[in-house]
């Protein structure tokens, strides 16, 4: 079965440092998402991306966050200056279209800010 792949699986970073989380969505998918899950809490939407631009972003996705699709395969989430409260599992997801097909999630990148 096709899958969304994410790297790194775990990253520890100092507060204030920049972090880039990488995702390779399923190859023919057109819609891409980042979600995050703070330990023990629910899954929260960060941003959606379609046709090389952000479709929607949540209040969490402030100026410290950015996304990019630098080539035909990668989809990245950058956090410019990490805070302690950014510690969470970050999930990338993709889907073929928005007519109700399954949204596939990657294995996640666990970010720990110290």
Partner 1 sequence: ELKVEQNPLFLSMQEGKNYTIYCNYSTTSDRLYWYRQDPGKSLESLFVLLSNGAVKQEGRLMASLDTKARLSTLHITAAVHDLSATYFCAVDIMEYGNKLVFGAGTILRVKS
- Residues in region 58-87 near partner 1 by CB under 8 A: none
C-alpha distances (whole Å) from 4 to each of 17, 85, 88, 113 are: 26, 25, 19, 24
Q: Does 32 bind partner 1 (CB under 8 A)?
A: no
What is the smallest separation between the CB atom of 81 and partner 1, expressed in angstroms?
25
Q: Does 101 bind partner 1 (CB under 8 A)?
A: yes
Indicate the residue among 15 and 98 with the shorter CB distance to partner 1: 98
**How many CB atoms neighbour CB 104 within 10 A?**
17
Q: Does 96 bind partner 1 (CB under 8 A)?
A: no
Q: Does 55 bind partner 1 (CB under 8 A)?
A: yes
């Amino acid at each position: 079965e096709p899958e969304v792949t994410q790297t790194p699986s775990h990253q520890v970073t100092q507060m204030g440092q920049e972090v880039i989380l990488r995702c390779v969505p399923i190859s023919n998918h057109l819609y891409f998402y980042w979600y995050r899950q703070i330990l023990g809490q629910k899954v929260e939407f960060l941003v959606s991306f379609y046709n090389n631009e952000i479709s929607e972003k949540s209040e969490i996705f402030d100026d410290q966050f950015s996304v990019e699709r630098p080539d035909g395969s990668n989809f990245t989430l950058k956090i410019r200056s990490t805070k302690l409260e950014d510690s969470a599992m970050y999930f990338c997801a993709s889907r073929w279209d928005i007519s109700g097909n399954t949204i596939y999630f990657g294995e996640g990148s666990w970010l720990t800010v110290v």
